[in-house]
Amino acid sequence: MGAAPDLTLWGVGTSRTIRPHWAMHELGLPYKTKPIGPRTGETKTAEYTKLNPRQKVPLLQDGDFCIGESAAIVAYLSRMYSTPERSLIPEAPREYAAWLEWCFFVVAELDSTSLYVMRRHRADALGPIYGVAPEVVAKAGEYFREQLRHVEVALADGRQFLMGDEFTSAVVKVQQDTAIGNLKFLITGRSSKTTTQRNSFEITPLHYRYNIGNWIGVGLGAMVQVNISEQVTTEKKIYFIDQLLPLNIMTSVSTTKSATRWLGNWNAAPFADIQVGRVKTGPVLGLRYLRLLKGDITNRFFLYAGFKL
Ligand SMILES: N[C@@H](CCC(=O)N[C@@H](CS)C(=O)NCC(=O)O)C(=O)O
């Protein structure tokens, strides 16, 4: 590929616009975002209508080329910008055909004829605009569940992704579902955060200081740290949506704490610092840099205040 592509993606905040944003990130593409939303009037301006007469988001501009329809944008990005390291489209003709089948199935059966019909006609979604129709919503829901069997059967052999072990853009359009009780949800994301709570004492067996005049002092030394106790907390979050109300994102949080480790660990660091103030006798402010010998974060700075007697 030659020069970096000039990509601009119009539209944010809806399940259709998430598709091309996600594909851009999977492909590691730099791009500009025009954060316009549906039903805000922003899709109806003269500037936007010239680019997209359908007055819908998303829309991709690639230089002087424009393409709409979320699935077509994802397919275009996959075809144009996949690399051997980051590929979202299969090469072999039959696998490519299976990929196409999934893409059309998701857009036509899962999205247009069921999920979006439910959204359009639910009283608590777009019903007030397009007409509230509970019976249509119920029937579209039933149809969606029936259609989902195709996904369930495909994933029943334990494969990781729809297309087997390869992550392709077919998965950008549908994700594996999960069930809680009798209800089914789509998982839209996961995150994990680890925090370590540590009580330790530190001793400085070696410390050399040199004062440059009355106001500045520099120091070199070594610090030894012994952990009294250490406990690791992991918080895992799953983000999921109710298939009947795709924009309502819910979270489930699970927190696990490790057993407390007593006197289990030690660390040491050479350090250098600088002090300013009355460095011979009186108040000083210091900045110390420590290079820890072990651990994930080995560079540490701290600011301190002291009084020289
Ligand atoms: N089939 C199209 C549907 C796009 C679509 O309907 N977008 C809606 C928002 S989800 C929209 O832009 N509506 C225009 C408006 O309400 O202003 C796609 O997948 O891109």
| CATH for 122 | 1.20.1050.10
> Mind listing the pLDDT tens digit for each residue in 276-296?
999 989 999 999 999 999 887
Point out the ligand 1 atom lying closest to the alpha carbon of residue 112: 1
> Mind listing the pLDDT tens digit for each residue in 1-52?
567 899 999 998 888 888 898 888 888 899 999 999 898 999 999 999 999 9
3-state secondary structure of 142: helix
Ligand 1, CB within 6 Å, residue ranges: 14, 16, 38-39, 43, 55-58, 69-71
Mutate which of 12, 15, 16 for ligand 1? The one with the most ligand atoms within 8 Å of its CB, which is 16
- DSSP assignment string, 16-37: HHHHHHHHHHHTT---EEE---
In this prediction, residue 118 carries a pLDDT of 93
Point out the ligand 1 atom lying closest to the alpha carbon of residue 58: 20
Q: Are 239 and 188 in contact (CB under 8 A)?
A: yes
Domain tally, the chain: 3
The percent of residues in the chain predicted with pLDDT above 90, rounded, is: 49
| Distance from Cα 59 to the centre of ligand 1, integer Å | 10
Which distant-in-sequence residues (6+ apart) come within 8 Å of 284 by Cβ?
217, 275, 276, 277, 278, 305, 306, 307, 308
> Mind listing the pLDDT tens digit for each residue in 41-98?
999 999 999 999 999 999 999 999 999 999 999 999 999 999 888 888 888 899 899 9
Higher pLDDT, 229 or 177: 229
In this prediction, residue 5 carries a pLDDT of 92
If pLDDT is split at 50, 70 and 90, which confidence band does 176 have?
very low
Point out the ligand 1 atom lying closest to the alpha carbon of residue 11: 12
In this prediction, residue 170 carries a pLDDT of 61
> Mind listing the pLDDT tens digit for each residue in 235-249?
888 777 765 565 667
Mutate which of 40, 42, 56 for ligand 1? The one with the most ligand atoms within 8 Å of its CB, which is 56
Residue closest via CA to ligand 1's atom 2 equals: 69
Domain that holds residue 170: 93-174
Mutate which of 57, 118, 129 for ligand 1? The one with the most ligand atoms within 8 Å of its CB, which is 57
Residues 116 and 203 in one domain: no
The model's pTM is 0.59
Does 98 map to a domain?
yes
Residues 118 and 212 in one domain: no
Q: Are 59 and 38 in contact (CB under 8 A)?
A: no
**First-to-last CA distance in the chain?**
67
3-state secondary structure of 74: helix
Ranking 27-36, 166-175, 247-256, 299-308 by mean pLDDT, the lowest is 166-175
| CATH for 39 | 3.40.30.10
| Distance from Cα 172 to the centre of ligand 1, integer Å | 17
